[in-house]
Chains A and B, each alone.
Chain A
Amino acid sequence: MEFLYDIPVIGMVIQFVVYFIVQLPVLAPTIMAAAVPIILGALCGFMNERSGVVNIGIEGMMLTAAFVAWWTAAIAAQVLPDLSIGIMGITLPLLVGLALAILAAMAVSAIHAWLSISVRADQIISGTIINIFAVGITGYLNLLISQHSPPSAGQFQDLRLPSALLGIPVIGTLLNSLIAVGPIALSMLISVIVLQVLLFRSRWGLRTRSVGEHPKAAETVGIDVIKLRYRNVILGGIFAGLAGAYLTIEFGNAFQGEMTAGRGFIALAALIFGRWTPVGAFGAALLFYASIGLQRSIQFAPPEGALGDFLATLPPQFYSALPYIITIIVLTGVVGRSVAPAAVGRPYERESKAA
């Protein structure tokens, strides 16, 4: 195999692919852990944009949920008994935090729905309002409670699988990164599959797609465009809630101001790169973080020869910026075009009302 590496250019590509495959078992769990909130955020965007509502407020919804999950779980831990069901570190306070985070994100989504569907305000502005408000309110409360902040309620744990299972090559790696994870990450995996099937195989999916592509036609066959959009946007909040809660009660156990750090926008990028499908967004998020994970492994275990020399010249920031650059390229249609649902961003006005 090594002799192939001497071929100019192609050799380097082959070596790169081999290197990546060799490193993958080590990287996979970290890539997955970083990608979970992105995928969940993208699912929120998916629910919005497929039904014709732009959502750039995912970032703010996630941040709100992250704060609510952490804070309410901490308070619940002080007043409620610390009941535990014994797997994945699930305790009553954490469940309370999770539920309230989801509700909070759904409430924010409801405001977004009201502004963009009923008021027919510009949807980008609505998203901007959510982002600014979330940074403000979470930072404000976080600073106010910092003096008498209750101790953290802890975090969910990864599912434990027997080590014999994890020892199997390939399957073990897959199990380790996909199944041996916390409850929110597991729910993400299930949601991706379920939503993908529902979108293309159910009545709801067909209706959602028609409302996102051609609401007028949908209305003429008796679909209530307004109601469906409301429902999808508010349900989309569930995923933003899960994404936020993941950051403060599963991946970590503390809240910091502006801790989402642009994840809501990467989620948007993943959604676009994944062509507005759940599985596509899943793949896109993994690819994005593979690029960042790769940067770390190049730091610690650089490949040999010309490839190593070449990769060493690329600054770490290059790998971080890569997802965004790829998204722009995909949007321009140079390699494989990504096309938005046709009615996205347009408030719908009923025929009877307009006449």
Chain B
Amino acid sequence: MNFLLYIEVSMSDNDRKLMIVLIVILVLFFILLGLIGMLIRFTMQQQAKHIDTYMHDPVVYRVVADPQHFRKFGHQVNHRLLYRQALVPFILGFASLLFYLIYAGATGTWAEDYFGHCSTLFFTWKWNDPSIYAKFWGVTLLTRWPDLQTSPAPNVAYWASYVLVPLWLITIVYFLVVIQAYFARFLMINRRSRTIYEKSLEGYNFYSTMGGYGVPTQPVNNPINSQIPPSNIPPR
């Protein structure tokens, strides 16, 4: 309480308003980040479930019967899935590279500002205007939204940038999503290899399973999928 009083005394009215705004912005920023993180996590969970489609039958039919084999088989499947999914961004990237080489070779301009040219399609603001910033306890903060610098003005001379930059961005984002799915499946394979071969003694009592003459009885619960014949494959 004394700390708050100290802040109350030492800050001017303008500083106090600025601090309240700063706190609200920070809280909203963290909440937004948390929501984005939760969205990414949910997406990864959905992507990870995809590996179960490929791992289900070999496990249920007892072809894959131990954690090491499960991981090995899972990673082989995961590599093939990655290759198949990454074909699209690779083809896009290769096409953009080919386009760039042909265009730059034909025009002789190998170091153009493609991203700068592409920004002519969007609004730009005067972010370098010093009057929109203020110092607050040594930290530079934005005090107001900057003025508009340029409106969208497409230029025919920049047509190559309008093709190349979207191609590059799509390729990068697509490949990142594919890698995220690969990472999610990688984690799921490791988790499943630990859980599906797990033996638990939770709820088990040694003496409750003894017969009348000290003979252990069979487990009460039959194994799941008992109708499936055992595999003839020797253990690896």
State whether these chains interact. Answer: no
Residues of B within 8 A of A (CB): none
